[in-house]
């Protein structure tokens, strides 16, 4: 008699993803799927996919999905949630999607206290279009549209979305995590689970920012990319829970 | 509700939407349609519906996209500059084949323009508006009663064809008060097994999407859309003809302009001039063959618009180059008086017509 100790979550489809070697999207997808399974809400979950590298995530999640226009996922998710208040609705967005073109939508979804969950994947670059500067690109970071390194005199400083959103009353849970090592993955999963529980308890808006690597567009091996992230991103984008309801914090 | 009530056009649209079973409205204030947004904010909570004032027209149409994708009867409304902002979302809605109703109470343009009535968005509404090969069904009422009837019909057509329906009105229709009675939807709420509403035992996910990375697949999707549009062209032409049988001159006008045109026509008739009027109610699909037939015996047509001349292109395509199609229009929020139109009729009848 053998016991199955590890299996693909029900909430993931059995297909290979298109993500580059080393990319963190796959890990983050899996953590979300595990959480959906553990909360036993697969049958009433509706995900909203972004425009960006994870545009095809509707092929990987095994529940109802809507593909949104670039940046508009929080508005689309709002429409879905207002039709089905009992459903579990989340948006999955990258930094170009959420922190540039979709800034108004994420801010107002949070301000309204929209009872949705957002997973925000921040890899400090536009991946799908081939490595352009994002609002979260670090100072001096070289991209195809900041070929001499990001110059804050002309482009300002990188936006810290979690800190900004945490100032809004409607945002009930805001955390920044990373999936660069097993310990952080466990913490990331816990944060994602809490963000969904906030929604299930009807408390308001919840967002988890996940720092992620982009070896392809950073021009590094996956291992180098993880080191670069730890050395450069984590100091500017500190990990932690920025906002949590008292009853959840315990 | 069979009794007649006196209502403002904008508010009548709101009540008609509720009668049609719409329980989700997402909007943003803009003159001259704000009364509709305000009406929905008052009425929706009374019928357990959702009213949400979005942060922008862009957000509102993407909320509509989400709500429609989740299976709801849903509406948004705006006026010209706001409708421009919604075009991206409308393209996605058309691409993903979602039913919804979009109201445009047109005002003067281009740019910020004015807040007075205009019909300068005809091209935008009937030729697509956003990117890609698609069509909205576009309906143009000319009275408060017709606003009501067409609003209800729009929800039925949207569901039947899984296509956005645009109600193209103008500031004057929205602001004027007339008696109207309300009749409920023909089809009522229909089942939407394709909606992303949560699997709930379905076993297989539904995906709402307009992305087809393989060109072969996208072409097939476009072929499918064109087949649907052909079907709509076949079944959903709407128009009104008045005294066209013996008309030497056929006026062509829609919406509020048709009301003014009719006054001018009646006066010319009373004076013995053989003038008729053809009023397209569906602007897309445009009643091409019906207009051609209606004007068969006429020697000329006069297109009247609150624009510099947009619908006239469809009129010319309909009747061909065999007879003159004259044009008279006012822009910027200016309305022609019946006297002005009458004068145009007289000029054409005397062989001195304009362009």
Q: Which of B204, B235, B266 is the last residue of a domain?
A: B235
CB contact (8 A) between residue A80 and residue B196 = yes
Q: Are A102 and A74 in contact (CB under 8 A)?
A: yes
- Domain residues for the domain of A220 are 25-249
Residues of chain B with C-beta less than 8 angstroms from the C-beta of A61: 205
pLDDT, tens digit (0-9, with 9 covering 90-100), for B261-310? 999 999 999 999 999 999 999 999 999 999 999 999 999 999 999 999 99
The partner residue sitting opposite A63, judged by closest CB among B56, B62, B199, is B199
A178 inside domain: yes
B41 pLDDT more than 90: yes
A174 inside domain: yes
CB contact (8 A) between residue A44 and residue B198 = yes
A5 inside domain: no
B162 inside domain: yes
B355 inside domain: no
Residue B124 and residue B221 share a domain: yes
pLDDT at B321: 87
B354 inside domain: no
Residue B247 and residue B229 share a domain: no
Name, in order, each residue with C-beta under 8 angstroms of B112's C-beta and a sequence gap of 6 or more: B81
- CATH number for position B23: 3.40.50.970
Please name which of B27, B5, B31, B32 lies closest in space to residue B16, comparing C-alpha atoms. B5
Residue B73 and residue B45 share a domain: yes
In whole angstroms, how far apart are CA A13 and each of A74, A129, B204?
24, 26, 11
Which CB contacts under 8 angstroms, 24+ apart, belong to B297-300?
A: B297/B245, B297/B246, B297/B247, B298/B244, B298/B247, B298/B248, B298/B249, B298/B250, B298/B323, B299/B248, B299/B249, B299/B323, B300/B248, B300/B249, B300/B250, B300/B324, B300/B325, B300/B326, B300/B348, B300/B353
pLDDT, tens digit (0-9, with 9 covering 90-100), for A106-136? 999 999 999 999 999 999 999 999 999 999 9
B213 pLDDT more than 70: yes
Please name which of A76, B30, B79 lies closest in space to residue B38, comparing C-alpha atoms. B30
pLDDT at A246: 84
B73 pLDDT more than 50: yes
CB contact (8 A) between residue A79 and residue B199 = no
Residue B105 and residue B24 share a domain: yes
pLDDT at A250: 64
A79 inside domain: yes
CB contact (8 A) between residue A76 and residue B72 = no
Residue B259 and residue B217 share a domain: no
A6 inside domain: no
Partners of B207 in the β-ladder? A65
pLDDT at A2: 81
Residue B172 and residue B46 share a domain: yes
CA–CA separation, A162 vs A119, rounded Å? 11
pLDDT at B43: 98
B123 inside domain: yes
CB contact (8 A) between residue B55 and residue A108 = yes
pLDDT, averaged across chain B? 96
Place of tokens 């053989």: B274
- CATH number for position B293: 3.40.50.920
B194 inside domain: yes
Q: Are B115 and B333 in contact (CB under 8 A)?
A: yes
pLDDT, tens digit (0-9, with 9 covering 90-100), for A211-229? 999 999 999 999 999 999 9
In whole angstroms, how far apart are CA B314 and each of B123, B234, B291, B299?
10, 17, 10, 18
B355 pLDDT more than 50: no
Residue B305 and residue B166 share a domain: no
Please name which of B69, B281, B54 lies closest in space to residue B166, comparing C-alpha atoms. B281
Residue B207 and residue B248 share a domain: no
pLDDT, tens digit (0-9, with 9 covering 90-100), for A45-74? 999 999 999 999 999 999 999 999 999 999
A111 inside domain: yes
pLDDT at B327: 98
Q: Which of B187, B206, B235 is the last residue of a domain?
A: B235
Model confidence band, residue A3 (pLDDT cutoffs 50, 70, 90): confident
A249 pLDDT more than 80: no
Query: B257: how many CB neighbours lie within 10 A of its CB?
Result: 30
B108 inside domain: yes
- CATH number for position A131: 3.40.50.970
Residue B208 and residue B76 share a domain: yes
Report yes or no: B67 at the A interface, CB cutoff 8 Å: yes
CA–CA separation, B72 vs A63, rounded Å? 19
B353 pLDDT more than 70: no
Residues of chain A with C-beta less than 8 angstroms from the C-beta of B204: none
Q: Which of B178, B200, B235 is the last residue of a domain?
A: B235
The SS3 of residue B95 is helix
Residue B119 and residue B192 share a domain: yes
Q: Which residues of A touch B (CB under 8 A)?
A: 42-46, 48, 55-56, 58, 61-69, 72, 75-84, 87-88, 104-105, 107-108
Q: Are B338 and B264 in contact (CB under 8 A)?
A: yes
A237 inside domain: yes
- Domain residues for the domain of B279 are 240-349
Burial class (CB in 10 A: 0-12, 13-18, 19+), B182: buried
Q: In chain B, where does DSSP find H-type helix? A: 9-19, 34-43, 57-69, 80-95, 122-126, 144-161, 171-175, 215-235, 256-270, 288-294, 311-319, 338-349
Partners of B180 in the β-ladder? B5
The percentage of chain B sitting over the pLDDT mark of 90, rounded to a whole number, equals 95
A29 inside domain: yes
Q: Are A44 and A88 in contact (CB under 8 A)?
A: yes
CB contact (8 A) between residue B198 and residue A61 = no
DSSP string, chain A: ---------TTB-SS---PPTT-SHHHHHHHHHHHHHHTT-GGGEEEEE-SSGGGGGGGTBSSEEEEPPTT-HHHHHHHHHHH-TTSEEEEEEEHHIIIIITHHHHHHHHHTT-S-EEEEEE-SSBTTTTSB--TTPPTT--BTTBTT---HHHH-PPP-HHHHHTTSTTEEEEEEEE-SSHHHHHHHHHHHHHHHHHHHTT--EEEEEEE---HHHHTS-HHHHHHHIIIIIHHHS--EEEE--HHHH-
* Cis previous bond, A58, omega within 30: no
pLDDT, tens digit (0-9, with 9 covering 90-100), for B181-199? 999 888 889 999 999 999 9
How many Cα neighbours within 13 Å face the side chain of A106? 31
Residue B94 and residue B199 share a domain: yes
The partner residue sitting opposite B65, judged by closest CB among A56, A58, A79, is A79
Q: What ipTM was estimated for this complex?
A: 0.97
Total of domains in chain A: 1
Torsion of CA B4, B8, B9, B13, to 10 degrees: -70
Mean pLDDT of A62-89: 98
Residue B208 and residue B89 share a domain: yes
Total of domains in chain B: 2
Residues of chain A with C-beta less than 8 angstroms from the C-beta of B24: 79, 82-83
């Amino acid at each position: 008699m053998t016991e199955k100790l590890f299996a693909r979550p029900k909430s993931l489809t059995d297909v290979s993803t298109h993500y580059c070697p080393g990319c963190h999207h796959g890990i983050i997808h899996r953590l979300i799927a595990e959480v959906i399974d553990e909360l036993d809400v697969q049958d009433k979950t509706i995900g909203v996919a972004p425009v960006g590298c994870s545009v095809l995530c509707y092929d990987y999640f095994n529940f109802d999905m809507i593909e949104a226009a670039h940046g508009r996922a929080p508005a689309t998710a709002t429409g879905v949630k207002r039709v089905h208040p009992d459903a579990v609705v989340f948006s999955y967005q990258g930094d170009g999607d959420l922190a540039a073109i979709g800034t108004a939508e994420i801010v107002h979804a949070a301000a309204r206290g929209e009872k949705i969950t957002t997973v925000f994947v921040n890899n400090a670059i536009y991946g799908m279009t081939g490595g352009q500067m994002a609002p979260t690109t670090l100072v001096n970071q070289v991209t195809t549209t900041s070929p001499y390194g990001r110059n804050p005199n002309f482009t300002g400083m990188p936006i810290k979305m979690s800190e900004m959103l945490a100032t809004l009353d409607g945002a009930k849970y805001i955390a920044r995590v990373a999936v660069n090592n097993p310990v952080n993955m466990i913490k990331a999963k816990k944060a994602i689970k809490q963000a969904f529980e906030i929604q299930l308890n009807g408390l308001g808006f919840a967002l988890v920012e996940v720092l992620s690597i982009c070896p392809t567009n950073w021009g590094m091996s996956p291992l180098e990319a993880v080191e670069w992230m730890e050395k450069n991103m984590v100091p500017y984008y500190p990990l932690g829970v920025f906002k949590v309801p008292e009853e959840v914090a315990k | 509700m069979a009794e007649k009530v006196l209502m403002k056009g904008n508010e009548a649209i709101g009540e008609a939407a509720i009668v049609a079973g719409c329980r989700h409205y997402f909007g943003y204030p803009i003159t001259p349609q704000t009364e509709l947004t305000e009406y929905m904010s008052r009425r929706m909570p009374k019928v357990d519906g959702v009213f949400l004032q979005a942060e922008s027209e862009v957000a509102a149409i993407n909320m509509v996209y989400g709500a429609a994708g989740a299976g709801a009867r849903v509406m948004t409304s705006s006026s010209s500059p706001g409708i421009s902002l919604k075009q991206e979302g409308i393209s996605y809605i058309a691409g993903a084949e979602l039913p919804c109703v979009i109201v445009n109470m047109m005002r003067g343009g281009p740019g910020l323009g004015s807040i007075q009535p205009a019909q300068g968005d005809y091209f935008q509404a009937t030729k697509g508006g956003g990117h890609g090969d698609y069509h909205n069904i576009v309906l143009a009422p000319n009275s408060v009663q017709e606003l009501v009837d067409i609003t209800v019909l729009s929800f039925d057509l949207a569901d039947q064809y899984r296509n956005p329906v645009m109600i193209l009105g103008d500031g004057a229709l929205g602001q004027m008060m007339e008696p109207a009675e309300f009749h409920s939807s023909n089809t009522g709420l229909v089942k939407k097994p394709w909606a992303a509403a949560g699997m709930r035992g379905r076993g297989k996910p539904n995906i709402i999407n307009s992305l087809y990375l393989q060109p072969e697949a996208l072409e097939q999707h476009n072929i499918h859309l064109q087949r649907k549009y052909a079907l709509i062209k076949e079944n959903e032409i709407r128009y009104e003809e008045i005294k066209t049988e013996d008309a030497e001159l056929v006026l062509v006008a829609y919406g509020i302009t048709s009301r003014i045109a009719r006054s001018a026509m009646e006066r010319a008739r009373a004076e013995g001039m053989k003038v008729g009027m053809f009023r397209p109610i569906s602007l897309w699909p445009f009643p091409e063959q019906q207009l051609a037939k209606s004007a068969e015996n006429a020697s000329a047509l006069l297109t009247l618009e609150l624009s510099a001349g947009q619908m006239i292109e469809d009129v010319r395509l309909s009747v061909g180059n065999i007879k003159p199609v004259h044009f008279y229009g006012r822009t910027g929020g200016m309305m022609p008086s019946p006297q002005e139109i009458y004068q145009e009729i007289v000029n054409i009848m005397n062989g001195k017509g304009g362009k």
